[in-house]
Chains A and B, each alone.
Chain A
Amino acid sequence: MEEQLHAAVAAILRQYDHRRGNLLPVLQAVQARLGYLPPEAMEQIASAFGVPPVDVYSVATFYAQFRLKPPGRHQFKVCLGTACHLMGGHTVLDCFERRLGIKEGETTPDREFGLERVACVGCCALAPVVVVDGRVEGRVSPTRVDGLLLSFSLEKSRRETPATPTNGGGGSPYGA
């Protein structure tokens, strides 16, 4: 596991020359590959760049984009820009927090769902907006939150019990 991680980071480090100006692009690439920035990866990057690990850590913690904990299989980013805030973005965030039992910035213990807030995704005309696994959803209501979670949990149960035969008609995602 650790070796895999080391190899993945090393492969990214080979694509960039190690001047300080490339630190953000490298961190972005590593996060894109691993989903977050584990401490081992930050140390590896620091030694490649010839800077103390604390320098890499200070950059990683300064910018909102970087995650120090693993994300969920499904990542929800609730937009809390001005327009989304006025149109009920906080209510949407509350709904996710209540249903998932986690706070923003956290991941459910089974690592199925992660919840984040973002400052603005620039889709203000369609507020309130949630980015679901990189796809932007507009005009999200509390009932839509329940719908999203329901469909993902159905998908999960299908994934875990793939052998279960469906009862003929099949098809309906809300069945059973």
Chain B
Amino acid sequence: MVHEAYRRLRRQAEEKLAARQKRPLIMVGTATCGRAAGALNVLAAVKEEVARNGIDAAIAEVGCLGHCYAEPLVIIRHPGFPSLCYGWVDEDKARRLVVDFLQHGDPCFDFALAALEPNDLFPTFAEYPRGVYEKRIILALCGLIDPEDIDQYLVHDGYAALAQALTMAPERVVAEIKEAGLRGRGGAGFPTGIKWEVCRRAPGQAKYVIGNADEGDPGAFMDRALLESDPHQVLEGLAIAAYAVGARQGYVYVRAEYPLAVARLQKAISQARARGLLGQSVLGSNFSFELEIFQGSGAFVCGEETALIASMEGRPGIPEPRPPYPAEYGLHGQPTLINNVKTLAYVPHILRHGAAWFRRIGTPGSPGTAVFALAGKVAQTGLVEVPMGTTLRDLIFGAGNGIKEDKKFKAVQIGGPSGGCLPDTALDLPIDFDSLQEAGAMMGSGGLVVLDEDDCMVEVARYFLEFTQKESCGKCTFCRLGTKHLLDRLTAITRGKGKDGDLEFLQELAEDVREGSLCGLGKTAPNPVLTTLRYFYHEYEAHVREGRCPALACKDLIAYYIVPEKCSKLCNVCLGSCPAEAVQTRPDLLKVIVQEKCVKCNSCLVACPPQYRAVVKLSPPQDGT
């Protein structure tokens, strides 16, 4: 019955899409990252050019392929050619591609980034360094299917796992997830199967399941990309979870800063409902499941389960002590299963391929893959999915292709404000939940920010404390006041006002905040301070003892100068780049920086042509000049 209903849906989807196969297809990546790079203008240019030339081609919007460094991305599928992906596309390139490729049959290999399937003409993504290290499970379809068309998900075995689950006993579904060893991808790595089992066994009239996409970590965008690129995968995982624990009502909790994710998810829910994959009697079974979106309102602490529930009940997001765990006593006092949306995205794959398949990927303690958002000073920013146990070196220098502008690697910040900064000695650490914890950082939800020689570690610690101090809900004294004192002391140090004894004070207070806080926010808030003290003590010392910022990053400890011998005198680039009119021309045409006016924005240093490189920054500032 269920299988038959599913096969019918699948057949309809295949028939609909088969009819389209014969026409050329232009796909433009319009996830938020693509849009920020101008993808909507590219899309408009493509549409206009296709219409103007009367070309018979379909145009579709797709999500994020993960190669964000090359946005905007366009994929063209032209029968007779391999499907080709083009990077750094602007409106002019888009128009050329449409005319040259679709009209004249020239695939413009100059603009192409990679082919999507093996062929004799052009290398595929698998042949690039990133492709060698990557293993895509939950990102497999991202950027390749239209997230607003459920049929494209269906033809890729979408919802097959849900149909399969509905014919299994719920206990069996829970057991399969347990056997797979899936651990929560939100950061803490709690075994998902055990959470499901506790929730399944908990007595309650109404149970709830919640997909958590309250991605509050600054520097992380995995959940956003997943919801914008392949929302049905998350819905399917959530429906299976609901069936397994015995819930009839579910929510996806999405951050308010992700309007596009909300819109695409909304569309996915209504399409799934129209096909009978959500709502009353799913696929003709006696399982019914309703799903709604709840928009978070911008509070980092709401990533914490009990705070998330408080916000859904219309209260300030202040965490409660656990136990009782939400799996037993959660939303409206009922058993509530809360899983990160990435965790849920793995569920359909595990059911389709089996627990043993999943266990073969990754490490014994942390099976499966991990999705990372590479950002900061890494050359190829974007989304990467690698097997657990991959080293940080392979991730940053392999998949990420090293550091921008060949600068020197300094540290990697992993796990967001709760994580830590690891130095180059930690690069050969295999990434899994346990080894990172030992090094003082944590897996976190997957934000990975790379720092180079120009980044000051004290300033980075200060930045994270500024964040956690702002986001502390104020319940626990140590978190509320301790983070404030840590921040004040760090701010003083970055301004050259550090004193003897400051570093000991930071160490001691950081440990106290960790001990004296109730929830994950306070317990982990000191991590950036503790790890930077542990690995970069000498940078703190330089600030406190010499009033010097070794990375030349702390604005109060540096000054910009123009080296007279190097200045061309006749070029006015620095003058034009200065937003504060601080660069002036002397009567002998030499340029000088008026220190009182300089806002230290770095514009002149960037603007000075490479043949001169006359602008320098020095720490501590020199008198005179």
Which residues of A pack against B, CB within 8 Å? 19-25, 27-28, 58-59, 62-66, 80-88, 91, 94-95, 98-99, 118-127, 129, 134-138, 141-143, 145-146
**Chain B nearest CB: distance from A174 CB in Å?**
14
Question: Given the complex of chains A and B, what is the CA–CA distance between A103 and B314 in angstroms?
Answer: 30
Question: Given the complex of chains A and B, what is the CA–CA distance between A125 and B224 in angstroms?
Answer: 13
User: Could you list some 20 contacts between A and B, CB below 8 A?
Assistant: A21-B314, A62-B316, A65-B298, A82-B447, A83-B219, A83-B375, A83-B381, A84-B218, A86-B460, A99-B579, A119-B298, A120-B217, A122-B220, A123-B221, A124-B221, A124-B447, A125-B68, A125-B221, A126-B36, A136-B32
**At the interface, yes or no: B377 with Cβ under 8 Å from chain A?**
yes
**Chain B nearest CB: distance from A90 CB in Å?**
9
Contacts of A143 in B (CB 8 A): 577, 579, 603
User: Could you tell me which residues of chain B, from 161 to 208, have a CB within 8 Å of some CB in chain A?
Assistant: none
Closest to B261 in A: A122
Contact assessment for A127 and B375 in the assembled complex, using a CB-CB cutoff below 8 Å: yes
Contact assessment for A86 and B449 in the assembled complex, using a CB-CB cutoff below 8 Å: yes
Contact assessment for A119 and B218 in the assembled complex, using a CB-CB cutoff below 8 Å: yes
Contact assessment for B221 and A122 in the assembled complex, using a CB-CB cutoff below 8 Å: yes
**Chain B nearest CB: distance from A175 CB in Å?**
19
Contact assessment for B297 and A65 in the assembled complex, using a CB-CB cutoff below 8 Å: yes
The segment from B79-87, B136-144, B251-259, B588-596 that touches chain A is B251-259
Among A27, A87, A119, A135, max chain B CB count under 10 A is at A119
Contact assessment for B218 and A120 in the assembled complex, using a CB-CB cutoff below 8 Å: yes
Q: With A21-B314, A82-B464, A138-B36 given, can you name 7 additional A-B contacts, CB distance below 8 Å?
A: A25-B295, A62-B299, A64-B299, A81-B218, A118-B257, A127-B376, A143-B579
**At the interface, yes or no: B469 with Cβ under 8 Å from chain A?**
no
Contact assessment for A82 and B375 in the assembled complex, using a CB-CB cutoff below 8 Å: yes
Contact assessment for A141 and B295 in the assembled complex, using a CB-CB cutoff below 8 Å: no
Contact assessment for A83 and B376 in the assembled complex, using a CB-CB cutoff below 8 Å: yes
**Chain B nearest CB: distance from A31 CB in Å?**
9
Partner of A125, one of B69, B217, B311, B467: B69
**At the interface, yes or no: B33 with Cβ under 8 Å from chain A?**
yes
Contact assessment for A121 and B217 in the assembled complex, using a CB-CB cutoff below 8 Å: no
Partner of A28, one of B256, B464, B599: B256
Question: Given the complex of chains A and B, what is the CA–CA distance between A146 and B578 in angstroms?
Answer: 11
Contacts of B215 in A (CB 8 A): 122
User: Could you tell me which residues of chain B, from 220 to 235, have a CB within 8 Å of some CB in chain A?
Assistant: 220-221, 224-225
**Chain A nearest CB: distance from B557 CB in Å?**
15
Given A20-B314, A82-B447, A120-B218, A63 contacting B299 (CB threshold 8 A) = yes
Contacts of B256 in A (CB 8 A): 28, 65
Contact assessment for A24 and B467 in the assembled complex, using a CB-CB cutoff below 8 Å: no
Partner of B602, one of A91, A120, A124: A91
**At the interface, yes or no: B455 with Cβ under 8 Å from chain A?**
yes
Question: Given the complex of chains A and B, what is the CA–CA distance between A122 and B217 in angstroms?
Answer: 9
**Chain B nearest CB: distance from A110 CB in Å?**
22
Contact assessment for A124 and B580 in the assembled complex, using a CB-CB cutoff below 8 Å: no
Contacts of B449 in A (CB 8 A): 82-83, 86, 124
**At the interface, yes or no: B526 with Cβ under 8 Å from chain A?**
no
Contacts of A27 in B (CB 8 A): 297
Contact assessment for B312 and A21 in the assembled complex, using a CB-CB cutoff below 8 Å: yes
Contacts of A28 in B (CB 8 A): 256, 295, 297
**At the interface, yes or no: B373 with Cβ under 8 Å from chain A?**
yes
Closest to A138 in B: B36
Contacts of B471 in A (CB 8 A): 119
Contacts of A120 in B (CB 8 A): 216-221, 257
Closest to B38 in A: A138
Question: Given the complex of chains A and B, what is the CA–CA distance between A19 and B332 in angstroms?
Answer: 12
**Chain B nearest CB: distance from A157 CB in Å?**
22
Contact assessment for B455 and A86 in the assembled complex, using a CB-CB cutoff below 8 Å: yes
Given A62-B316, A119-B300, A86 contacting B33 (CB threshold 8 A) = no
Question: Given the complex of chains A and B, what is the CA–CA distance between A137 and B37 in angstroms?
Answer: 7
**At the interface, yes or no: B574 with Cβ under 8 Å from chain A?**
no
Closest to A85 in B: B463
**CB-CB contacts of B463-474 with A at 8 A, as 1s and 0s?**
110010001010
Question: Given the complex of chains A and B, what is the CA–CA distance between A135 and B463 in angstroms?
Answer: 26
Q: Is chain A's interface secondary structure helix, strand, loop, or mixed overall?
A: helix
Question: Given the complex of chains A and B, what is the CA–CA distance between A61 and B216 in angstroms?
Answer: 18
Contacts of A64 in B (CB 8 A): 297-299
Question: Given the complex of chains A and B, what is the CA–CA distance between A91 and B582 in angstroms?
Answer: 15
Question: Given the complex of chains A and B, what is the CA–CA distance between A21 and B253 in angstroms?
Answer: 13
Question: Given the complex of chains A and B, what is the CA–CA distance between A58 and B314 in angstroms?
Answer: 10
Contact assessment for B316 and A59 in the assembled complex, using a CB-CB cutoff below 8 Å: yes
Question: Given the complex of chains A and B, what is the CA–CA distance between A20 and B447 in angstroms?
Answer: 34
**At the interface, yes or no: B601 with Cβ under 8 Å from chain A?**
yes
Contact assessment for B451 and A86 in the assembled complex, using a CB-CB cutoff below 8 Å: yes
Contacts of A99 in B (CB 8 A): 579
Given A82-B413, A83-B219, A121 contacting B257 (CB threshold 8 A) = yes
Contact assessment for A98 and B580 in the assembled complex, using a CB-CB cutoff below 8 Å: yes
Given A65-B297, A81-B219, A119-B298, A142 contacting B36 (CB threshold 8 A) = no
Given A24-B297, A64-B299, A136-B32, A124 contacting B316 (CB threshold 8 A) = no
Partner of A126, one of B33, B220, B416, B603: B33
Contact assessment for A88 and B599 in the assembled complex, using a CB-CB cutoff below 8 Å: no
Partner of A122, one of B257, B332, B413, B579: B257
Contact assessment for A124 and B375 in the assembled complex, using a CB-CB cutoff below 8 Å: yes
Closest to B381 in A: A125
Contacts of B473 in A (CB 8 A): 62
Contact assessment for A126 and B376 in the assembled complex, using a CB-CB cutoff below 8 Å: no
**Chain B nearest CB: distance from A159 CB in Å?**
24
**At the interface, yes or no: B71 with Cβ under 8 Å from chain A?**
yes
Contacts of A23 in B (CB 8 A): 314
Closest to A136 in B: B36
Contact assessment for A142 and B295 in the assembled complex, using a CB-CB cutoff below 8 Å: no
Question: Given the complex of chains A and B, what is the CA–CA distance between A48 and B412 in angstroms?
Answer: 50
Contact assessment for B219 and A63 in the assembled complex, using a CB-CB cutoff below 8 Å: no
Contacts of B33 in A (CB 8 A): 122-123, 125-126, 138
Partner of B377, one of A24, A81, A86, A88: A86
Contact assessment for A119 and B297 in the assembled complex, using a CB-CB cutoff below 8 Å: no
Contact assessment for A82 and B219 in the assembled complex, using a CB-CB cutoff below 8 Å: yes
**At the interface, yes or no: B52 with Cβ under 8 Å from chain A?**
no
